[in-house]
Every structure is written in structure tokens, then in C-alpha cells.
């Protein structure tokens, strides 16, 4: 029973991961009109789907980066396996809930925040609640980049800065080089480049992120005893995760797309291309060199950089600061939810505990979705002019309540 | 730990600037050449088009596509247990 809850929650997390991150790849293409909104999310969804299948690399040890639930071979720690792995399943379950709730809350606020940080935060919190501070892999053994510090915190500080730097240089070069070209002519030409580079970001996202959920589900299956191979992921898990992330992407986190595409910088297509090229380059080189950066942090940094690199472009630092603040609290906030869920679920115990926690997840999800309807952002209004200091969607709600019900 | 991170991140910075800023720049040269080839409305100066520039433009775009193809090869190959080596300058697949 608990296993089914864990799998369902993991797939739900994968879905939120997809729709939370659509904007990373497609926000700029949507904002400049290179792609119509629905086409953009459709293209991104297909590429995420393909990406998820391409990532056959085993991601079974994904949790090892931050917590000590598994051995380095991917097998769960034996002491967590009593009673069909009940404790491990509870930890994973509560960690996932922490990740989902944080993803939904930041979506409601229109803030792009890292889905992997939300997942890691949730897992850290539930592990701490279950096993104490020692259950968390804070910094590995110091011989390589590992643990919360080496794999989560340090990359989080560096990646937006690196991406912003690359995008600033790229944007500056692009505008220098095309100085004599008529603006409209350049705008049309760069749209093609933009579509190409944005597609690359989508594909990279699918290969990086879907496999995290695959790893988590497989870990749960092994803990329960219904899967034993630590070198492979069951085929149906691969399918389920690929479809979930693609469906999430297609749903489109329009609130986040709006913030990234319109809120941060007024973006033109040369800037969009420079930003996506920077994102793709940073994500691919870092994962090629063996340490994964958050797609969200990189994409946000790139878009910011594309504003810095263009003379006279306005960068809305207020919006940027709100995002950075959200990044700072992602880990502790998701962790807190994970920990509370574990205390609640484990304290009540039996099968009532997990069910209650699950009901809590459903309830809060329902509340947030209902709340988002009040100022819905969707494909039709995602590109409306940005009103300074407005809450996401607030400026929209005022002038087109008519098609909210559509 | 900080030292390890410093090394890793500086590699990312170096390669990313080369590829992530170089690629848009290359593409921009392509657009520049295409505009010079088309002439008239495409150019701020309104100069007459030079057809030879169009050829140059498409060579540049082809180069951009080639770089993207290498990028794709990097993503795909790592999933299948291969990696792309730049040892001999031209990318080749080797087993991990």
C-alpha cells in the first residue's frame, strides 16, 4: 500500500518537475514570439520525452548525493529494510511530498525555483526526522565534490553567475556583430536560432531530470523487495517517468514562463538566442564534467545576463531578488515539509499515518490550484505586458477575466 | 572541497564561454552576412545586396548546426555508455 503511494507521489513529483521547468527552455521563445505558446510547450514536451528515454544511464544512486539511505552500489541500507522497507519508503514518500508542495507553492507565486533542490530538500528533511543529523550526507568525505555542500549549495551559488556571465558576453557579441543589420531582419533570423537552442535545453532537461525520479522509484521498489537489479531501472518506470515529465511540460507552468519571459528582462530574439545558447552550454558542459547544475538556476542566470549584455536593456532586479530569495529557502522549506510529514505519518503509524499525509498533500494541492484560478495565467495571456510590482497574474486578472473560465 | 569546486567551475566557465557565447556570435555573423547578401531593407545602410555573402552566411549556419550536432552527440552518447572525445580535435565516440 505504502509502495503504491510512494510510486504515485514520485510520478506526481515528476509531473510538477516538468511543468515547473517548461519556462527554463521555452520562456524566451514564447516571449519573443518565435514560437506560439502552445507550440513551444508541445515541442518542449516531445523533447523531454525523448530526453527521458535517452537517459538510460542508471540513476539509482541519485539520493546518495544528499542522504545516506543507500550503499554506493545503489542497494538500500539493510537497517532500513525491516518490515518491507517501511522506514525507507516513509522517508522517500515524505521527501517527495516536500518537493511537490514547494514546487506548487513557488509556481503559485510565479517563481522559478529548482525542482531538484526541492526534491533534495524534502529528502534531507524527512531523513533528518527519521535518522537524525547523521543520516544526511553533508559534505561527503572531502576527496571529491559530494554531499549537500558540494553537490547542492556550492553549485547553486555559482551556476547563475556563470550562466549570466556567458549570456552577457554572448548578447554583447551578438549586438556588436549585427550592428549594421536592420532590426526587423535580425529579429526574424534569430528566432530560428532561438528555437534550435531552446530545443537543446529541453532535451538536456529531459535527460537530467526524469532519471532522478526513475532512481527514486526504483529505490522504493528495491526496498519493498519487488525489484532486485541495482544496475537497471524497470521498463515501466522509465515509461511512467518519461510520460509524466512530458505531460507536466505540456501543461506548461504558465505563471513561471511569464516571470522568466516577461518579468526579468524585456527580451528580444537575439537576446533569447544568446540566453538559451548559454543555458545549453553551461548545462551540457557541467553534466559532461560530472556535476549537474540546476537547469532553473542556469536558465534564470542566462536570461538575466541577456539583459545585462544589451545596452539600455532594463533588468528588473526586484523580480530577480525575489527569485534568489526563493532559492535560498527552497532547501529548508521543502525539508521542513518533508520532516513534518515524516513526524506526522510515522507518529500516527500503521497505514493511517501515510494515508493522512497523502490526504494532506491532496488537500494543499487542491487549495493551491484553486487559489491559482483567481488570477490564472495561460497560453492566451502569458505575454501580456509586465506591470511592475504586480503579483503574477494580478495585472492580467484585472483586464481579461472574461476568458479565465476557458 | 572549495578547491575542487574551483577547478570544476572554472572548466565549466571556460568551455561555456567558448561554446555558449561563441555559438550565438557565429550565428550573428551568419545573420550579418545574410543581411549583406540581401541588401536593401535588410541593412541599416540600405546598400545593394552582394550575393556572395549569402553563400558565406549558409556556411556559417552549417557550422552552427554542426556544433549543435556535437552537443546532441554528447547528450545521447553518455546515455548509452559512450562519451565523446575531443582528443583528436574531431569528436569521436569512445566507450566510457
Residues 6+ apart with CB under 8 A from B76: A54
Which chain B positions have a beta carbon within 8 Å of A55's beta carbon? 79
Q: Which ranges in A33-75 belong to alpha helices (H)?
A: 37-54
pLDDT digits (tens, 9 = 90+) for A182-212: 888 888 889 998 998 999 899 888 888 888 8
pLDDT digits (tens, 9 = 90+) for A19-51: 899 988 999 999 999 999 999 999 999 999 988
B55 vs B70, residue with greater confidence: B55
pLDDT digits (tens, 9 = 90+) for B29-65: 999 999 998 888 888 877 787 888 999 999 999 999 9
Interface confidence (ipTM) of the complex: 0.86
Q: Which domain holds residue A106?
A: 2-146+197-264+323-382
Taking each helix axis from N to C end, the angle separating B22-38 and A183-224, rounded to the nearest 10 degrees, works out to: 150
Nearest partner of A196 among A304, A276, A108, judged by Cα: A276
Please tell me the distance in Å from B89's CA to the nearest CA on chain A: 17
Lowest mean pLDDT among A45-59, A259-273, A319-333: A45-59
Q: Residue A398 falls within a domain, yes or no?
A: no
Q: Do residue B27 and residue A166 have CB atoms under 8 angstroms apart?
A: no
Which chain B positions have a beta carbon within 8 Å of A163's beta carbon? 16
Q: Do residue A180 and residue B45 have CB atoms under 8 angstroms apart?
A: yes
Q: With 0-12 CB in 10 A as exposed, 13-18 as middle and 19+ as buried, what is A373? A: exposed
Pick from A177, A207, A287: which is nearest to B29 by CB? A177
Q: Residue A183 falls within a domain, yes or no?
A: no
Q: By the CB < 8 Å criterion, does B20 face chain A?
A: yes
Please tell me the distance in Å from A232's CA to the nearest CA on chain B: 13
Strand runs labelled E in chain B: 82-85, 92-95
Q: Residue A95 falls within a domain, yes or no?
A: yes
pLDDT of A395:
43
Q: Residue A394 falls within a domain, yes or no?
A: no
Q: Which of A277, A286, A290 should one mutate to test binding to chain B, selecting the residue with the greatest count of B CBs within 10 A?
A: A277
DSSP A314-341: -B-HHHHHHHHHHHHHHHHHHHHHHHHH
B residues 30..69 contacting A (CB < 8 A): 30-32, 34-35, 38, 41-45, 64, 68
- Count Cβ–Cβ pairs < 8 Å, chain A vs chain B: 158
pLDDT band at A85 (very low <50, low <70, confident <90, very high): confident
Q: Do residue B20 and residue A277 have CB atoms under 8 angstroms apart?
A: yes
Are the beta carbons of A280 and B71 closer than 8 angstroms?
Answer: yes
Are the beta carbons of A272 and A27 closer than 8 angstroms?
Answer: no
pLDDT of A288:
74
CA distances from A98 to A8, A247, A323 (A): 14, 21, 19
Mean pLDDT of A177-181: 89
pLDDT of A58:
55
Alpha-carbon distance A374 to A393, whole Å? Answer: 9
pLDDT of A308:
93
pLDDT band at B96 (very low <50, low <70, confident <90, very high): low
Q: Residue A237 falls within a domain, yes or no?
A: yes
> Would you say residue A336 has pLDDT above 90?
yes
Share of chain A above pLDDT 70, in %: 94
Q: Residue A79 falls within a domain, yes or no?
A: yes
> Would you say residue A396 has pLDDT above 50?
no
Q: Residue A291 falls within a domain, yes or no?
A: no
Nearest partner of A276 among B16, B32, B88, B44, judged by Cα: B16
pTM value is 0.86
Q: Residue A28 falls within a domain, yes or no?
A: yes
**What is the count of structural domains for chain A?**
1
pLDDT of A352:
85
pLDDT of A141:
72
Pick from B15, B31, B76: which is nearest to A190 by CB? B31
Chain-centroid distance, C-alpha A175:
31
Amino acid at each position: 500500500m505504502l509502495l503504491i503511494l510512494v510510486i504515485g507521489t514520485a510520478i506526481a513529483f515528476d509531473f510538477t518537475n516538468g511543468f515547473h521547468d517548461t519556462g527554463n527552455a521555452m520562456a524566451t521563445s514564447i516571449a519573443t514570439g518565435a514560437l506560439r505558446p502552445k507550440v513551444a510547450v508541445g515541442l518542449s514536451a516531445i523533447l523531454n520525452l525523448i530526453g527521458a528515454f535517452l537517459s538510460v544511464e542508471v540513476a539509482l544512486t541519485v539520493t546518495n548525493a544528499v542522504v545516506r539511505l543507500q550503499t554506493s552500489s545503489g542497494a538500500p541500507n539493510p537497517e532500513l529494510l525491516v518490515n518491507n522497507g517501511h522506514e525507507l519508503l516513509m522517508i522517500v514518500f515524505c521527501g517527495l511530498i516536500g518537493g511537490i508542495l514547494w514546487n506548487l507553492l513557488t509556481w503559485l507565486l510565479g517563481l522559478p525555483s529548482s525542482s531538484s533542490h526541492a526534491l533534495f530538500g524534502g529528502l534531507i528533511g524527512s531523513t533528518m526526522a527519521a535518522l537524525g543529523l547523521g543520516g544526511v550526507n553533508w559534505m561527503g568525505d572531502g576527496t571529491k565534490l559530494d554531499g549537500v555542500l558540494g553537490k547542492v549549495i556550492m553549485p547553486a551559488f555559482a551556476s547563475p553567475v556563470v550562466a549570466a556571465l556567458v549570456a552577457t558576453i554572448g548578447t554583447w557579441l551578438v549586438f556588436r556583430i549585427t550592428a549594421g543589420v536592420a532590426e526587423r531582419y535580425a529579429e526574424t533570423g534569430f528566432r530560428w536560432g532561438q528555437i534550435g537552442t531552446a530545443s537543446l535545453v529541453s532535451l538536456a532537461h529531459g535527460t537530467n531530470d526524469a532519471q532522478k525520479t526513475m532512481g527514486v522509484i526504483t529505490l522504493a521498489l528495491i526496498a519493498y523487495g519487488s525489484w532486485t537489479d541495482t544496475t537497471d531501472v524497470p521498463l515501466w518506470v522509465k515509461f511512467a517517468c518519461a510520460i509524466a515529465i512530458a505531460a507536466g511540460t505540456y501543461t506548461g507552468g504558465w505563471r513561471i514562463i511569464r516571470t522568466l519571459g516577461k518579468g526579468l528582462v524585456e527580451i528580444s530574439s537575439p537576446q533569447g538566442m544568446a540566453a538559451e545558447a548559454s543555458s545549453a552550454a553551461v548545462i551540457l558542459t557541467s553534466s559532461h564534467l560530472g556535476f549537474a547544475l540546476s537547469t532553473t538556476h542556469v536558465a534564470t542566470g542566462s536570461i538575466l545576463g541577456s539583459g545585462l549584455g544589451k545596452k539600455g536593456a532594463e533588468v528588473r532586479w526586484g523580480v530577480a531578488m525575489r527569485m534568489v530569495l526563493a532559492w535560498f529557502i527552497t532547501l529548508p522549506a521543502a525539508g521542513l515539509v518533508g520532516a513534518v510529514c515524516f513526524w506526522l505519518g510515522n507518529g500516527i503509524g500503521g497505514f493511517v499515518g501515510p494515508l493522512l499525509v497523502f490526504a494532506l498533500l491532496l488537500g494543499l494541492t487542491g487549495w493551491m490550484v484553486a487559489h491559482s484560478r483567481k488570477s490564472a495565467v495561460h497560453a492566451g495571456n502569458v505575454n501580456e505586458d509586465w506591470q511592475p510590482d504586480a503579483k503574477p497574474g494580478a495585472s492580467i486578472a484585472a483586464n481579461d477575466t472574461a476568458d479565465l473560465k476557458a | 572541497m572549495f578547491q575542487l569546486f574551483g577547478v570544476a567551475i572554472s572548466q565549466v566557465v571556460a568551455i561555456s564561454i567558448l561554446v555558449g557565447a561563441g555559438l550565438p556570435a557565429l550565428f550573428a555573423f551568419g545573420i550579418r552576412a545574410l543581411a549583406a547578401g540581401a541588401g536593401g531593407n535588410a541593412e541599416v545602410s540600405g546598400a545593394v545586396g552582394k550575393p556572395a555573402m549569402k553563400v558565406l552566411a549558409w556556411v556559417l549556419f552549417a557550422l552552427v548546426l554542426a556544433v549543435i550536432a556535437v552537443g546532441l552527440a554528447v547528450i545521447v552518447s553518455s546515455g548509452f555508455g559512450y562519451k565523446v572525445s575531443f582528443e583528436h580535435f574531431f569528436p569521436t565516440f569512445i566507450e566510457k
